Structure 1
Amino acid sequence: MAATKPTTVSKKLLIDPKSDRILFAEAGKDFVDFLFYIMSLPVGTVVRLLGKQRTVGCLGNIYESIENLNDYYYMKSAATKVILLKPMSKYTNLYWCKNHQNYNGGTAYVANHPTAACPSCGHYFMKSNDVLFVNPTNNGVPDSGEEALIKRPATFMIMDDLVVRPMYTNSIITLLDKFNIKDVNDLEEKTIGVGVNEAVELLRASMQSKTVLTDVFLGGKKKSSEV
């Protein structure tokens, strides 16, 4: 039996109290997995078709972060990136026509949806119990439904607008300079846990705002859903 996953993941917020905003969050692979998983939802197709500049909120930034993240070092596989950027419906069952099962080298008719009908005899398909789908991101291992998207422990910077980057000292210095922060001692650090409720709010804010972290964790702006 698989181990139970924690209900919360931790991340550290770096806050500028003068502007009352979050400069960035420092987080590990679990939180980045959550952000990237958003793009495996049908909304990912919308982002791709409309273009990053035409999306509302910060979803386009998540999409672009996945595009820019190094495949070999961070992503579980190259296929993982493709699936996130061009998501498709995921089916876990296979259905077959009992009259055409390829017993003697003839044509076998199968489908991935129970409402399909055989094009030869019109018989509705039946569920197969001896076929297990293999997810291409698992390198041949049957899908457990609990796969990760980032393949190894790493530390990331998540910007207020949900841009995700590997955390490097130069990146922090560049960010502090961008916001004209002269003394890091003027900043505040806060470690928080992100659970189901916070995850839902992050998803909601990512579709409405350009300052997602500040809105959700500092309440810096009134959510448009409350207007």
Structure 2
Amino acid sequence: MTSTTKLSVKLLVDTRTNKVLFAEAGKDVVDFLFGLLALPVGTIIKLITKESMVGSVANIRQSLESLDGTYFLSDQAKVDLLNPEVSVPSLSENGVLLLPTSASSSSSTASSKKYYRCSYNYNSSCYDYVTRVSGAHCPGCKNNMTREVQYVEPKSEGTVKVENNNGEINVLGVVKGTYTIMDDLTITPIITLLNNLLNTCHVKDLSVLQETTVQLGVEE
């Protein structure tokens, strides 16, 4: 989710008590909520402002950012810690996850992934090994692995083909359909609640219910 991205959520309000009974949300909102479970702690710290962090958590990242590269075993180590990757492929390129979605950001992430193989061709088994640390010893011939190989970013990984009016399209994310979100963040398919609306929300008169749409941004 960028600073300008807005997600729409429909709220069902009991006008007598001015209480929100539940929210109706599409896949973008639910993908965002479920996607929070996949974010590494380092990414969460990066997204939260220093003023809103608890205790001294902000100081950990600040210490890492300030630490000179000479103190790390490799340049890649600092890059990996400052920019941890989402472990779920279907979420890694989803903009609603608060992650950078610009082309420059995507290319930067891809270019930061460097792999190396053995620089010697004396042993055919050398081709079976690859490392992320330049200079690591090859298990096949014991020489240094310093020859950089090109990493290919899987563009279609994590996508699912779905039907729409224009045929099949590739869609990123986790879920499909529409869902209800309760005040305790319980998420269920909307059909589940609608089938038992009166009992679930303790509503006897449907005429007191009013639907309103709100926009959710990064601050919210």
Q: TM-score, normalised by structure 2?
A: 0.49
Larger Rg: 2
